[in-house]
Amino acid sequence: MQLTIKYFGMLVEATSISEEQLQIDSCSVSELVEKLIHQHPKLNKKDFKVAIDQQLVDRSHVINTNAEIALLPPFAGG
């Protein structure tokens, strides 16, 4: 499946990119996060939530179709 990974706020600084494409087999959110940390070591120990197609999901959630994945650091609206 094809995933679009989006980074925001401090995570753009940590990865030096705001978006990337990833071809990957079905996996859990935590497996995906492991892989992303491996690619971008500065993501390690950063606090972030994960959204799939704009819905927040748990790390145990399984991704099995093309999707937009967003890594969201702590919110700071207002």
70 binds other proteins (CB under 8 A): yes
Pick one of 36, 51, 63, 69: the residue that binds other proteins (CB under 8 A): 51
In angstroms, give the least distance from the CB of 14 to other proteins: 11
- Using CB under 8 A as the binding rule, the residues of this chain from 1 to 20 that contact other proteins are 6, 8-10
Residue whose structure tokens are 């790390």: 59
Pick one of 23, 45, 60, 77: the residue that binds other proteins (CB under 8 A): 77
Max CA separation in the chain (angstroms): 39
Strands (E), 1-78: 2-7, 19-23, 27-28, 49-52, 55-57, 62-63, 67-72
